[in-house]
Amino acid sequence: MSLRIGADVGGTFTDVVLDADGQLHSTKVLTTYDAPEQGILDGVDTVVAEAGVDLANLDTFIHGTTLATNALIGRTGARTALVTTDGFRDTIEMRTESRFEQYDLNLVLPTPLIERKDRHVLHERIGADGTVLRPFDDDEARALIDLLIDRPEEEAYESIAVGFLHAYVDGSHERRFRDLLLERIPDIAVSISSEVSPQMREFERFNTVCANAYIQPLMASYLRRLEDQLHATGARCPVYLIHSGGGLLDVDAAIRFPVRLVESGPAGGAIFAADIAARHDLDRVLSYDMGGTTAKICLIEDQTPRTAKTFEVARTHRFTKGSGMPISIPVIEMIEIGAGGGSIASVDGLGQIRVGPLSAGSEPGPASYGLGGTEPTVTDANLVLGRLSAETFGAPDIDLDDAAARRALDVSISDQLDLDARTAAVGVVEVVDENMANAARVHAVENGKDVSAFTMIAF
């Protein structure tokens, strides 16, 4: 018997599916933020018991996760240092000096992942043609390594990013610094740009290696725990991670290059939509993936998702290119907005209903979950409108509470706008639908496409 398990950890729910010779068994559990692997293991236990199979016979375990994305957006990664070429210490802060809103006098740019006091330089340099303009000095490097290591415990670095000028042509200086660093402290996390993102354009490459180093300790710990606990339950199969380009990485590769797990789950959804398009001979498809926290939209032509070499996370201005943190890796191109089932609805100062980008997530979750949430969400609105049913809801451990959803809508929206709960729910749904439709239109226009000619695959 062929056995495969797929697990996707989202901002609200963790979904687990078991494929036993084409027979599918699935479950949905709330994401456990403190230990994401626990939600996966709970889901695995449920589907394995339902199917009556032995985990020892499992062939493959495939995992998609938003943990890397959330760590970058929430700035919850490791304390990280950047080592770069003298004169380029501020590259990640100066950016490209382009303004994404030309006339905004109060323009807010994303702050660098690594503060200036944690950025250090070496007097080395390689030219754009690979010529060594200033040789690497081992003694200077060792002195800098001493400076990086000999710090008070509360200021100790957990990870080091190395990004030298033109290292995409010749990465020997970066590799030499890494070797010297690991000689001194073998267990520290270290990322070098010539391996993480061997592409020209220093700002994007430096930012990418910083992001990789920033989330590496977090992802390494999580992935090792997941792998060990899966093996403890009897599974002996390899564990694969979906990467941002839609392919697979084993655990060791994912630990070395965790930045490639950014948009991991959404990439898997786009590949799924492309597979459906191929099965049904659809040439132009718009995949629409609405989760608990965000909605993702991807254009697929000739059964192939659009791809890009660079994308942005944590945009400070919704829909606006240049307002986010650039990550220079192969990626399935899509647009993501904060409009999921858990997106919180409110009334602004002009008396208008607003939805998102804040989400109730899984803790406390929508008011209707009965887990302590009091603010109305898209899920609550859909429940009041009868679009969701407590009997058929995908998460078996959650009993949807219609009364709690109505109370939340009344307190936050109905009472302020003098509406009944059902009319308020209609308003919430109409706003979030328009937000998502507008995002799809923007994405299509940016790519010169007319979405009216596309078939939508929603999931």
What average pLDDT does the segment 426-430 reach?
A: 96
Residue 321 pLDDT greater than 80, yes or no? no
Overall average pLDDT of the 89-97 stretch: 91
Does the pLDDT of residue 263 top 70, yes or no? yes
Between CA 317 and CA 324 the distance in angstroms is: 8
DSSP-assigned letter for residue 413: I
Residue 336 scores a pLDDT above 80: no
Q: Where are the alpha helices (DSSP H) in 248-401?
A: 251-256, 264-279, 378-384
Of 54-58, 78-82, 186-190, 434-438, which range is least confident? 434-438
Summarize the confidence of residues 173-182 as an average pLDDT: 98
Taking residues 270-292, what's their average pLDDT?
94
pLDDT at residue 417 is higher than 70? yes
Mean of the pLDDT values across residues 40-53?
95
46-50, 286-290, 334-338: which has the minimum mean pLDDT? Answer: 334-338
Q: What pLDDT is recorded for position 197?
A: 97
> CB pairs under 8 A, 24+ apart, for 33-42?
33/361, 33/362, 33/363, 35/225, 36/9, 36/65, 36/67, 36/222, 36/226, 37/222, 37/225, 37/226, 37/229, 39/9, 39/14, 40/7, 40/9, 40/14, 40/16, 40/226, 41/229, 41/230, 41/233
Q: How many CB atoms lie within 10 A of CB 300?
A: 26
What local confidence, expressed as pLDDT, does residue 319 receive?
A: 61
Q: Tell me: pLDDT of 208 over 70.
A: yes
Residue 261 · residue 219 · CB < 8 Å = yes
- Can you give the pTM of this predicted structure? 0.87
Provide mean pLDDT across the span 233-239: 93
Q: How does residue 318 score in pLDDT terms, banded at 50, 70 and 90?
A: low
Distance CA 421, CA 432 (A): 17
Distance between CA atoms of residues 364 and 408, nearest Å = 13
Instruction: Give the CATH H-level superfamily of domain 3-72+220-264.
Output: ATPase, nucleotide binding domain (3.30.420.40)
Taking all residues of the chain, what is their mean pLDDT, rounded to a whole number? 92
pLDDT in tens, 124-152: 999 999 999 999 999 999 999 999 999 99
305 pLDDT more than 70:
yes
What residue ranges do the domains of the chain occupy?
3-72+220-264, 76-214, 289-459
φ/ψ of 51, rounded to 5, equals -85, -20
Whether residue 53 has pLDDT greater than 90:
yes
pLDDT at position 361 over 90 = no
pLDDT digits 0-9 by tens, 96-130: 888 888 888 888 788 899 999 999 999 999 999 99
Nearest CA among 158, 189, 185, 190 for reference residue 174: 190
At residue 168 the predicted structure's pLDDT band, cuts being 50, 70 and 90, is: very high
At 431, give phi and psi (nearest 5°). -65, -45
Angle at CA 445, nearest 5°, toward 443 and 451?
Answer: 80
Return the structure tokens found at 269. 């959804």
- The confidence score (pLDDT) of residue 144 equals 98
